Structure 1
């Protein structure tokens, strides 16, 4: 009996030493955010990408943000992206959130209406996680994190990195934006409040896989 207790105690001790990142991945769950939750300005915090060109873009971008606003008809939410590259602020409004039954789950290309990404289910309404896929000789995944402000909790950062790991993205493929410059002005949110852009930790922005980078001619 004593031997069994010792063995059990040893197992429990080893379990306590296991990394917290060893959380089962399971099937990815899409989010179901409403329009009121999505409208306004979202700051780029981090991005992760498999496709080498998009990984390079993440490294080149200093900061950026999305501005989400309703379109005529109410079935779409226009996404306007601003990113600072070098000494330029580039803009792209080629994508939108598709609304269905009052909620948004998919990101589509404005011209082709092709689905290029989906909102992921997260624990907070103050962060936004979008998973993209790019079809080339194989399927490349990308993951982009946005937030209402840059004062993100460690738990939210860990949640993002866990999602990235589940997509097969390594830590070397995760890039946090430095936010060193102020080239891209912020729009005010629908409530009339400007987001808090005072950087706390490292925090990136890049164009989604499957779309051209703002100001570029394509991939």
Structure 2
């Protein structure tokens, strides 16, 4: 009897300690306004994954800015990236984003490497992308400015937890590691950006 009473009294505490249930991440269904809405400059803020091939890249990216511009076809975007990988600034303007209208996904192609992403519904000043992978999905956060609000960061973290990722899986970039524009010096000791 005492064991049953203890179990019943402890049950509400155990239930209260359970994490909140997660609603499925709502992805954006592409329409005529979707792609024009993501054109322009973005600052990469953070990324998370447990997928081993992506971890090295997440750890190496200290800062990144990128811009999307219309490609030569309706199903393509041009991408220009300026990033600091460890101590080296790199400028890439040769990669493409392929738009798959039928399933609302994007595919980034950089040389022989391709990765897919789905846009998560959010504030128009944020670009939250889910990177599907059968073993471990990833999530990235970019914004129109280098600073995001606490609420936007909490939204990103809530999505992370719903994918089974933790704060320890997140790698943040830093504005102090910005490379600036090609040819521009942002501080003492900055390396000249390398074009890729």
TM-score normalised by length of structure 2? 0.70
Kept after mapping to 2: 8 A contact 1:141/1:167: yes
The verdict on how the C-alpha distance between 1:89 and 1:78 changes in structure 2, with shifts beyond 3 A counting, is same
Secondary structure of residue in 2 paired with 1:139? coil
- Structure 1 residue 27 and structure 2 residue 28: aligned? no
In the TM superposition, residue 118 of structure 1 has moved relative to its aligned partner by: 1.1
Q: Residue in 2 aligned with 1:203?
A: none
In the TM superposition, residue 18 of structure 1 has moved relative to its aligned partner by: 6.7
Give the 5 Å matches for 1:1-219: 22-31=19-28, 32=30, 34-92=34-92, 93-98=94-99, 100=101, 105-110=104-109, 116-122=116-122, 124-134=123-133, 139-185=135-181
Structure 2 stretches lacking a partner, 5+ long: 1-11, 183-194
CA separation in 2, counterparts of 1:119 and 1:28?
10
Secondary structure of residue in 2 paired with 1:28? coil
In the TM superposition, residue 75 of structure 1 has moved relative to its aligned partner by: 2.6
CA separation in 1, counterparts of 2:104 and 2:66?
16
Kept after mapping to 2: 8 A contact 1:87/1:183: no
In the TM superposition, residue 82 of structure 1 has moved relative to its aligned partner by: 2.7
Deviation string 1:121-171 (CA, Å, 9 cap, x unpaired) is 11x10000111134xxx6232111000002211111011111111111111
Question: Structure 1 stretches (4+) deviating beyond 3 angstroms?
Answer: 91-95, 109-112
Q: Residue in 2 aligned with 1:208?
A: none
CA separation in 2, counterparts of 1:146 and 1:37?
14
Structure 1 stretches lacking a partner, 5+ long: 1-10, 187-213
In the TM superposition, residue 184 of structure 1 has moved relative to its aligned partner by: 4.2
Say how many residue pairs are matched.
Answer: 166
Which one has a bigger Cα radius of gyration?
A: 2
TM-score normalised by length of structure 1? 0.63
CA separation in 1, counterparts of 2:178 and 2:165?
29
Bigger drift between 41-50 and 24-33 goes to 24-33
More helix per residue: 1 or 2? 2
In the TM superposition, residue 116 of structure 1 has moved relative to its aligned partner by: 1.6
Kept after mapping to 2: 8 A contact 1:133/1:141: yes
Kept after mapping to 2: 8 A contact 1:97/1:108: yes
Deviation string 1:153-197 (CA, Å, 9 cap, x unpaired) is 1111011111111111111001111222332428xxxxxxxxxxx
Kept after mapping to 1: 8 A contact 2:45/2:141: yes
The verdict on how the C-alpha distance between 1:68 and 1:23 changes in structure 2, with shifts beyond 3 A counting, is farther
